[in-house]
Structure 1
Amino acid sequence: MEDILRPIYQERASQSNTLGVLMVEKRQKSGQTTDSFDVILLVIVKEAEQPLFIKHYSYDDKKASMHVIAEPLLQEWLLLGTNRKIFEWLHDAKIIFDRNEYVANLKTELREFPFYGRKLKMGLEFAKLIRRYVDGKALFESHLFLDAYNHVVHSLHHLARLAVIENGLHPELTVWHQVKQIEPEIFKLYEELVNSEEMLEKRLELLFLASEFLIHSRTNIGAGHLLEILNNKEYWSFSEIMSEKELTPYSVDMSVLIEYLIDKHLIEVVNVETKGQGVFHRCYRTHKKLS
């Protein structure tokens, strides 16, 4: 298989822009890892006009998919978790070409999972968790139980991913398999939600009570990255928070996260005078007890 595909990846490996070439082969009887292809070729390049370029090939009775990925996009995927399959591919891949040990160092970094990367990832998962939890609770209180259920399932998924990252691991596609070993309490909540024969309203009511405790117990670690950044200034306007480079990944979840942390007395509001009488700029700072 590798011999047949060699002319394709050798051409890429010969280019100075190429950092590494990896090959992921389909596991026996399962094409889930490789999106039903027999082989995935990953070509990592320094830069490209098109951050992701995908080409499909046929050979014998098999098929292959080549993904040419610009390094900035790869780093974004790894940081934000927006392409979860990439972790599995990098873990399982055979290194075909490696310029200056780029790929070997990348795999080592993923395995060791530096603490700063964990803090940011926990912050992002926590923000998504709060968004789903708050929206789900509002829908529940409006008696829109099926819509609330959808949000609660997603909130539990983010809680599970947060627990996995907290334990120094990357969340995989089989996150519930991971959580069953690491945090059985969260796994049990998920099982009760999807398998219980109780009325949906009752299931959701019990789950909101139980998950509130689990979320509360992780608030300090989940919000740690955000609070650490906010501690660098006396107070921040919301636009300053959103334009801060280290905080831009929080995106649309930032507003609801800040309001949640105000409720938990971890952030407080600072009213700054405007030219309009009785109208203030609403700014934010970490609670004085944290400073």
Structure 2
Amino acid sequence: MSPTLLGGLLGALFGTGLIIAVRRMPFLRKPTPDDRIAPYLRDLDGTEVFLGVAVSNSPFSAILRLFGPSLRSGARRLERILGGASSIRRRLSRAGLERTVEEFRIEQLLWGTAAFGAALVGSLVAVALGIGNPLGMLVFCAVVGVVGVLARDTYLSTQVRNRERRLLAELPTVAELLALSVAAGEGPAAALDRVARSCRGDLADELKQVLAETRAGATLVRALDALADRTGLMALSRFADGLAVAIERGTPLADVLRAQAADIREAGRRELIESGARREVAMMVPVIFLVLPTTIMFAFFPGAVGIRLIAG
């Protein structure tokens, strides 16, 4: 490493440390009015507060306690840049993650910081070996950091799709079990309670939340409507709406549940057939671009060699 580059890195580290030390001076980090009254309002939103930082189920809660003010400030800046808090909140609910938008933004910052750090280490090694220039490597590190921030958002969408797939796979079985319980003489609430206690999975957790809402004072129809709005799945929305309509109008609930289970299984079969058709088209790509040229080459190569020998 050249002396100029080493001096620049040391200067950058010294300047960064100086800026952090100055920003942490008491006269520059006065608490805001929200931070002052937050410990006295902790019971209003049901969240526990520890030293001004909300305690949550996030895997980064320990880092949040250590660097809470800086991370929350960065999360607010990131929210102003990216926006879309309502979409994030809806996708977090559909993914079954008990996190706030602020915690998700903090996770995005940590993902971006980790990606930037890994790229920075690789860039330092490359510059030390004489590969590339420092300015290009710095731009590369910044791009990798942005990609890390966006990767967390993409992973959230993947979590939503995986959970919706699990919900759709569990729905026919849960509908059949509810039909059996209702046919045995149990009421809708008792049948939901029995199925929620007997099953394991994401849909069983959603049914437990529905029962918790009914015990808190909400009607079963309203809790089912909230389930349909929370999941966002068309099949599950039809299931909840059909169950609510059957309860309100007194129609035979067991027949409705069996019919819905049959419809869901039929929709699953159609989706499987469509997926197989798409996979069949995708399987033609290696056949056309790999197997077919190789076959043609093996067929025409002996003839080409024979023609060359005769001409020679």
Q: How does the TM-score come out when normalised to structure 2?
A: 0.32
Q: Structure 1 or 2: larger helix share?
A: 2
Q: Structure 1 or 2: larger strand share?
A: 1
